[in-house]
């Protein structure tokens, strides 16, 4: 059950996207792609855990709202075979008495053999080294998943979802005492059974228990019904005193306390944490934007909850098209929102969304053609790299892409993993923006994806620079790479020493042609290369800028002369030695810039034409067979062409006497 990164008109649509002067202090759900979240806040860090076929992973993030920016590290890898080889489900990360623990379910490939295991961090770093797994089971050892540890009145208790017998007749909640965080010290007790209709949709299931304690009240919050249904929801067991191992001490809620709504179908399998400053309580859970998607399309969401005395009040899930206020104390850079339907749209279509999900209930779809694009005009307060989130949906079943350009220069592409149509999620990238207005264009790449909006950080990414970049030097290999000044060459920027840059921009005759990301490692040298292709004869002036979070430094100009862009002159010959009117014309280009096509002529009459494969400095040859030529003197020539121009051979005369 992976908790993964995510990453939301046929006319010209000339309305330009705009944003408020003050960026909104809010965010959109979902915050991650995946399911079964478990999160612990320690100081100014959030640590979340996830699993997949490759093992258990820990993510470190400084923000609950921007978890996609976190660093993910694998802390445990499954065995190739045996009881821990397969189906690693729903890991839970906890900090108990100053030590980190992760609990997860695994089996040998057979679901009936699912059991709970625990590992302990061997250092204070939850992304560091961990112990080998330990099986955690009561004397009555049965199917078990979704475990957590309750710390109550100085004692530890293991809570999980399991089978009563050896076969699946539904899942109940169990509890057992613990002597330490990896050892059960007594028999299990079935704390609760799924007896109510709202716990029995598809199958009778109680799972994913989590504990809240406040004001002497202990609340066990669990997920009920089939997790693949839209009716998956949260229920509670509440204890206001008494023995927590006694089922009679617990009172079940009268129905779901957190249930489905549009774009949040099947909300459940939750975790609890607090805002960065510790003043707010937050629930993090998974749900599906689209109904009837089963386990596919689940995404991780976060929102604040409140209290009524000692009882939690969760309210309703926030829809994916509604913003959520940032957690108190979250210093994540707020973002400016630009709606796709307000951008300039070319060969695509603004669509009113009948099924809620897209912001404003409008999206841009039908981005289906090579020349389909959506162009946003965004404003940046200063030059630099900015985090940009693209809110999209795609149901192609594989990863699609949109090509990205900024101010007319290519900025690569953004990957858009399939997550279902109208199931809106974010994909992130960093873009080089200059102070003032910028155009950000998303064009069709591989596959298909629809656009809802983009959100752009309100200030540049801090790259750690302490001063503006040092001065770089431009050079060119024009005339050295092939021996020809042929219009295909490489411009190189070298910053030999000093304060590094995060971005190199290259301009040709004042027009931006490339923006290249750099990795700052001051005072190490930096280099960036830009390939220039297809320039015609002439002189070009290249200038550059080195950009970091402290400023912009100009690069000295470089002049490049192109004199050999058009094809070299071909040599035309013939083999009409017997003068009989049937012969072959041969065009040879022995050395020089190659051509991509040719045309044979007699006067103004085209006799034949074709294509050539350019591979400068290699030779090229083209042939034409001529037959039935009348007696007389005939004058032929051949023209070699490429994108930069055309060159005609010296004429050759052929005499036909019979």
Give, for 562, the enclosing helix (H) or strand (E).
strand 551-562
For the beta sheet containing 71-76, the strands, ordered from the edge strand earlier in sequence to the opposite edge, are 39-42, 45-52, 55-61, 71-76
Residue 480, number of CB atoms within 10 A of its CB: 12
Backbone φ and ψ for 247, nearest 5 degrees, come out as: -55, -30
Out of 36, 146, 230, 637, the active site residue is: 36
Helix, strand, coil in percent for the chain, rounding step 5: 5, 55, 45
Q: Where does residue 250 rank: exposed (0-12), middle (13-18), buried (19+ CB within 10 A)?
A: buried
207: annotated active-site residue = yes
Residue 440, number of CB atoms within 10 A of its CB: 24
Beta partners for residue 206, in sequence order:
224
Beta-strand runs (E) in 434-525: 436-444, 450-457, 473-476, 489-495, 503-508, 511-517
429: closest CA among 4, 22, 5? 5
Backbone φ and ψ for 468, nearest 5 degrees, come out as: -65, 160
602: annotated active-site residue = no
**Structural Rg of the chain based on CA atoms:** 33
Q: What is the distance, to the nearest Å, from the Cα of residue 467 to the centroid of all Cα atoms in its chain?
A: 31
Q: Where does residue 629 rank: exposed (0-12), middle (13-18), buried (19+ CB within 10 A)?
A: middle
Out of 107, 146, 199, 207, the active site residue is: 207
Write a three-state SS string for 183-244.
Answer: EECCCCEEEECCCCHHHCCCCCEEEEEEEEEECCEEEEEEEECCCCCCCCEEEEEEECCCCC
Beta partners for residue 553, in sequence order:
546
Beta partners for residue 456, in sequence order:
336, 388
Q: What is the distance, to the nearest Å, from the Cα of residue 189 to the centroid of all Cα atoms in its chain?
A: 44
Q: What is the distance, to the nearest Å, from the Cα of residue 468 to the centroid of all Cα atoms in its chain?
A: 30
Q: Does 284 sit behind a cis peptide bond, omega within 30 degrees of 0 on the bond before it?
A: no
Distance CA 187, CA 89 (A): 24
33: closest CA among 425, 453, 428, 450? 425
CA angle 498, 502, 506 (to 5 degrees): 95
Side-chain half-sphere of 452: how many Cα atoms within 13 Å? 28
Which amino acids are annotated catalytic? Answer: 36, 207
């Amino acid at each position: 059950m992976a908790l993964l990164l995510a990453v939301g008109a046929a006319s010209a649509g000339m309305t330009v996207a705009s944003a408020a002067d003050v960026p909104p202090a809010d965010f959109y759900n979902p915050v991650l792609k995946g399911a079964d979240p478990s999160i612990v806040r320690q100081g100014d860090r959030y640590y979340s855990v996830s699993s997949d076929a490759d093992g258990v992973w820990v993510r470190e993030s400084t923000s609950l709202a921007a978890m996609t920016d976190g660093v993910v590290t694998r802390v445990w890898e499954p065995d190739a075979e045996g009881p821990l080889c397969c189906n690693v489900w729903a890991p839970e990360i906890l900090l108990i008495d100053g030590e980190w623990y992760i609990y997860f379910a695994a089996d040998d490939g057979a679901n009936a053999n699912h059991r709970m295991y625990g590992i302990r961090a061997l250092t204070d770093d939850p992304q560091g080294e961990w112990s080998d797994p330990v099986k955690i089971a009561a004397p009555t050892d049965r199917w078990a998943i979704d475990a957590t540890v309750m710390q109550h009145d100085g004692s530890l208790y293991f809570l999980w979802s399991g089978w009563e017998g050896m076969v699946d007749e539904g899942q109940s909640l169990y509890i057992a005492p613990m002597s330490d965080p990896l050892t059960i010290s007594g028999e299990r007790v079935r704390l609760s059974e799924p007896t109510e209709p709202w716990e029995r949709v598809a199958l009778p299931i109680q799972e994913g228990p989590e504990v809240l304690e406040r004001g002497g009240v202990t609340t066990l919050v669990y997920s009920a019904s089939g997790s693949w249904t839209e009716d998956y929801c949260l229920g509670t067991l509440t204890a206001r005193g008494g023995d927590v191992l006694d089922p009679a001490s617990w009172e079940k809620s009268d129905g779901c306390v957190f249930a489905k709504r549009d774009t949040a179908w099947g909300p459940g399998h939750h975790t609890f944490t607090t805002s960065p400053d510790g003043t707010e309580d937050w629930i993090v859970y998974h749900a599906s934007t689209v109904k009837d998607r089963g386990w596919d399309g689940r995404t991780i969401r976060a929102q604040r909850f409140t209290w009524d005395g000692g009882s939690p009040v969760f309210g309703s899930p926030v829809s994916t098209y509604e913003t959520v206020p940032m957690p108190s104390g979250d210093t994540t850079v707020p973002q400016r929102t630009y709606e796709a339907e307000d951008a300039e749209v070319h060969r695509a279509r603004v669509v009113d969304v009948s099924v809620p999900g897209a912001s404003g209930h409008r999206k841009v779809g039908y981005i289906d053609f090579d020349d389909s694009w959506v162009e946003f005009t965004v404003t940046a307060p200063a030059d630099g790299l900015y985090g940009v989130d693209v809110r999209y949906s795609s149901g192609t079943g594989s990863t699609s892409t949109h090509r990205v350009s900024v101010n007319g220069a290519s900025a690569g592409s953004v990957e858009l993993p399939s997550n279902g149509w109208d199931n809106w999620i974010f994909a992130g990238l960093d873009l080089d923006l200059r102070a003032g207005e910028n155009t950000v264009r998303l064009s069709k790449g591989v596959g298909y994806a629809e656009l809802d909006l983009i959100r752009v950080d309100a200030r540049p990414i801090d790259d750690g620079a302490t001063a503006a970049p040092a001065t770089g030097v431009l050079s060119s290999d024009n005339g050295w790479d092939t021996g020809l000044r042929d219009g295909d060459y490489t411009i190189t920027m070298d910053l030999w020493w000093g304060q590094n840059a995060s971005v190199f921009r290259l301009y040709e005759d004042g027009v931006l042609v490339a923006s290249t990301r750099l990795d700052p490692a001051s005072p190490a040298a930096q280099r960036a290369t830009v390939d220039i292709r297809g320039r015609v004869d002439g002189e070009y002036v290249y200038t550059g800028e080195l950009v970091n979070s402290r400023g912009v430094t100009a690069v000295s100009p470089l002049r490049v002369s192109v004199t050999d862009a058009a094809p070299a002159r071909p040599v035309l010959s013939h083999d009409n030695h017997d003068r009989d009117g049937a012969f072959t014309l041969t065009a040879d280009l022995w050395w020089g810039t190659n051509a991509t096509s040719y045309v044979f002529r007699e006067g103004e009459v085209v006799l034949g034409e074709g294509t050539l494969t350019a591979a400068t400095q290699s030779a090229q040859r083209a042939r034409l067979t001529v037959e039935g030529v009348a007696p007389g003197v005939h004058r032929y020539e051949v023209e070699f062409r490429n994108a930069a121009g055309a060159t005609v051979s010296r004429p050759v005369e052929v005499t036909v006497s019979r």
